[in-house]
Chains A and B, each alone.
Chain A
Amino acid sequence: MASTTINSKKKAAKQKTTAPAQTEHRPYGIGRWLFATNHKDIGTMYMVFAITAGLIGGGLSVLMRLELQQPGVQYFLGAGDPDGHMWNVFITAHGLIMIFFTVMPALIGGFGNWFIPLMIGAPDMAFPRLNNISFWLLVPAFVLLLTSLFVGGAGTGWTLYPPLSGTIGHANPSVDLAIVSMHLAGASSILGAINFIVTIFNMRAPGMTLRVMPLFAWSVLITAFLLVMTMPIFGGAITMLLADRNFATAFFVPEGGGDPLLFQHLFWFFGHPEVYIMILPAFGIISHIVSTFSRKPIFGYLGMVSAMVAIGFLGCIVWAHHMFTVGMGFAIKLYFSVGTMIIAVPTGIKIFSWLATMWGGSIRFSVPLLWALGFIGLFTIGGVTGVVLALGGIDVQLHDTYYVVGHFHYVLSLGSVFAIFGAFYYWFTKMSSCVIPEWAGRLHFWTTFIGVNVTFFPMHFLGLAGMPRRYIDYNEAYAGWNSVASFGSYLSATSTLFFVVVVVVVLLRGKKKVADNYWGAGATTLEWTVSTPPPFHSFSKPPRISR
């Protein structure tokens, strides 16, 4: 019942907002970007930043795959000997860059900034200057992380576990730089999250109640809550680590009465919600794309919202499933195992609801939908291997093997990243008024789809056979699937470069005249009611969402 009212409301809302007159105030030059307070400009900067960081982080992974293509150490050499530390620096940088500087800025900073105000009919974010500092904190954070590479490099893994991240493992300042980098990135995320919460709660257009709010707005709202709740814990944990390293405290130093496991608990209290922070906005985006190209409203809107709330809540209380082998008690392992398994239920609801949205629809297979379908299929694989790893009995066999690497790349690299690409093809023309040719989008999709599957599927086999993750070298028994995975990564990398070239060419060719709602009747949210590209200041007068 609720959803039929959504439709009527959305349709009614599609009254055209006329672009403000040419007299609108609009900053120019470097000031437009450095002092940006416009959500669209900040969103664009986030997106450029995320793509740049993604190319660096992805480049690191290609070099890693090059090394792992065959047994023996061919490239990561220091003075002719295998340089395991350099290897660890690469895996660490790849993880941190992809999480903090690619996926989060793209989904939350980029698409969130651009489309949350448009979707809820707000003129901008609630705190435009806060929005500016959120972005500009991210840049020095990234610079600090890159600097750490040149002062020895942090080879701790993205998890930064002490004692390896303490002075015993890293006497040079690289880990300190990485910690301060995470502080800034964390502050950036918290400020951004506060901004989204306030915006979504206070600035919705009249008539847009929480029960009809678009699912992407819901997903970003829940994500923002997760960030505000867990990121400070992470900040605290790495501050303690910083104190251990520099001020002779002993929070995590056993000789001083501390405990390395305390860090792991604090880290994963943030670290597990973090994976939902990366996937929930993707859920929101996929819902929009599926609904648009099926020309059908979302099936089970209330169920979808409840599922996301449930995933967010459960995601905060299951952190220690990353720690089944650290020597926890039986009862506590049991709790974390059961809690984690339960997350499969709301996740399943989402998968089935997307399929049900398509059922009975009139499906057009445009490029964004290809990415969304890829997302649903591959996220299903990542989801079921997640259940395998949630089982306390089996996780002991697979923990810290390539099975885990395969699993989380299926949910993040093939889940979140597919959603990012889907969103990009869905909204790119709206944002820029440039058009990416259909054939290029399809070629990009299929090469990436084949590439990532060839890369990550064999990792499950390697993990079952026992190959540990974060290894620079391996016994010949693991050679076959490793070489397959490497060739897959070369294909995905080529495909990504192709994408970048296409986007640059399309942008250079300049703006085309495009309809406001170029996807047609299926696209019902408010961003399709503004012009393409949207005026610098949109919804100066809030649209009325009436029945």
Chain B
Amino acid sequence: MGAISFARLLRLRGAVKVVAAAGVSFLLANALVANALVADVLVADALAEEGTEIKTEIKTGAQNWQTGFSAPASPVARQSFEFHDNLLQPIIVFICLFVFLLGGFICWRFAEKRNPTPSRTTHHSKLEVVWTLVPVAILVVLFVPSFNIMRAIEDVSEADLTVKATGHQWYWSYEYPDHDGLAFDSNLLTEDELKDKSKRLLQTDNALVLPVGSKVRVLVTATDVLHSWAVPRFGVKIDAVPGRLNETWLTADEKGVYYGFCTELCGAGHAYMPIEVHIVSKAEFVIWLRKAKERFATKSQPDLLADLLAARTDSAQQ
């Protein structure tokens, strides 16, 4: 509790060193949970007890020298990426090439030495109508798929599961309101804690765990400043705004580990609050839920109390 208000004090002073903040939260998590747990370890433990073996397929995200989107991992992402790759990008590349080639031809054909006497033409009504209407037509063609994607993103109805992501300076916390209010914090793993160094700035101590194929409604908010919850391969990005509860949804196609980022500038630790999502089978999810409730149960109550007290102290100060 003392540590929490200290962290808050630091945060209010606005000059918190990233590592210090991450360290404080990490110590807290350690003290309360007894040991830091990586979600897949948790699942593996749980499954080992049940006598089954984890078969989490690790699908990696962005690759070095990548020039396009990563592989989509949800229906919305697939719809968006396919629209971009198959229609939008070809059209804009074509427009650019058309302008460059036309410009290049004009520069060659009408250079001073080839065309010493300039024409005085300044009008061509038909041409002007054409170069107004053709772009309009292209825009209409582009608008239809975009409209469908916008509508798909909007449809949060009939979700199988609801989770809530809350942005803090500088970590995410997750809640499962459908499952006895299971709640935990998700902090960046420091370089020393990483097993796989290539996952630097991506891995967290406690990942968000979701079942494959289920429609998950994600509620997003923040407690201090703006954040944004984004997982590129799910095509999800929604701002976390204090005082507002935003919602979006995702349905993961396949089991695996997916990474995302805070994408709204939130202060010194903006680059240090990644999002890690583990997609597991429905059976694994049930086991994980049971284990996670045990692990985090001790944590959630004192944490809630501490938050409440700290909030009271804050408002008293104001």
Contacts and interface: CB of A to CB of B under 8 A. Distances in A.
Given A254-B242, A296-B118, A155 B267 contact: yes
Contacts of A330: 150-151, 154
B96 A391 contact: no
A335 B265 CA distance: 26
A391 B112 CA distance: 42
B62 A327 contact: no
Interface in B116-152: 116-124, 127-128, 131-132, 135-136, 139, 142-143, 145-151
B269 interface: yes
Interface residues of B, number: 104
A477 B232 CA distance: 14
Given A161-B265, A296-B118, A341-B143, A71 B64 contact: no
Given A297-B120, A465-B69, A363 B111 contact: yes
A477 B261 contact: no
Nearest to A357: B122
Nearest to A396: B237
Given A164-B267, A396-B80, A468-B262, A475 B202 contact: yes
Contact of B232 (A1, A359, A381, A397): A397
Interface string A148-187: 0000100111000101100111111000000000000000
A300 B142 contact: no
A123 B299 CA distance: 76
B244 A297 contact: no
Interface in A414-459: none
A377 B80 contact: no
B246 to A, nearest CB: 4
A19 to B, nearest CB: 31
Contacts of A478: 62, 64
Interface string A293-336: 01111111101000000000000000000000111001001100
Interface stretch (B27-35, B43-51, B102-110, B290-298): B102-110
Contact of A88 (B127, B150, B198, B268): B268
A474 interface: yes
Given A358-B107, A376-B103, A384 B96 contact: yes
A348 B268 contact: no
Interface stretch (B177-185, B222-230, B277-285): B222-230
A377 B103 contact: yes
A210 interface: no
A93 to B, nearest CB: 14
A83 B88 contact: no
Contacts of A468: 230, 261-263, 271
Interface in B65-99: 65-70, 77, 80-81, 83-84, 88-89, 92, 95-96, 99
Interface in B200-235: 200-202, 224-226, 228, 230, 232-233, 235
A62 interface: no
B19 A172 contact: no
Contact of A477 (B64, B84, B148): B64
A327 B247 CA distance: 8
B96 A381 contact: yes
Given A81-B18, A352-B131, A393-B146, A474 B198 contact: no
B61 A476 contact: no
Interface stretch (A26-34, A131-139, A255-263, A487-495): A255-263
B112 A327 contact: no
B265 A384 contact: no
A472 interface: yes
A3 interface: yes
Contacts of A7: 120
A363 B110 contact: yes
B147 A259 contact: no
Contact of A392 (B102, B146, B266): B146
Contacts, number: 312
A71 to B, nearest CB: 7
Contacts of B247: 327
Contact of B131 (A301, A348, A474): A348
Contacts of B153: 393, 396
B270 to A, nearest CB: 6
Contacts of B265: 88, 156-157, 161, 164, 470
A172 B12 CA distance: 10
A476 B200 contact: yes
B258 to A, nearest CB: 11
B157 interface: no
B310 to A, nearest CB: 14
A4 interface: yes
Contacts of A224: none
Contacts of A78: 17
Interface of A: 1, 3-4, 7, 71, 78-79, 81-85, 87-88, 152, 155-157, 161, 163-164, 167-172, 248, 254-255, 258-261, 294-301, 303, 325-327, 330, 333-334, 337-338, 341-342, 344-345, 348-349, 351-352, 355-356, 358-365, 373, 376-377, 380-381, 384-385, 387-388, 391-394, 396-397, 399-401, 461, 464-481
Given A337-B146, A358-B103, A396-B80, 6 more contacts: A81-B18, A81-B19, A360-B121, A384-B96, A392-B149, A393-B153
The 3 closest A-B pairs by CB, nearest first: A254-B243, A393-B149, A466-B232
24 contacts: A79-B17, A83-B268, A85-B268, A161-B226, A168-B12, A168-B224, A169-B14, A297-B120, A301-B122, A326-B241, A330-B154, A355-B99, A356-B124, A356-B127, A363-B106, A388-B88, A391-B146, A392-B147, A392-B149, A393-B149, A400-B228, A473-B272, A475-B199, A476-B200
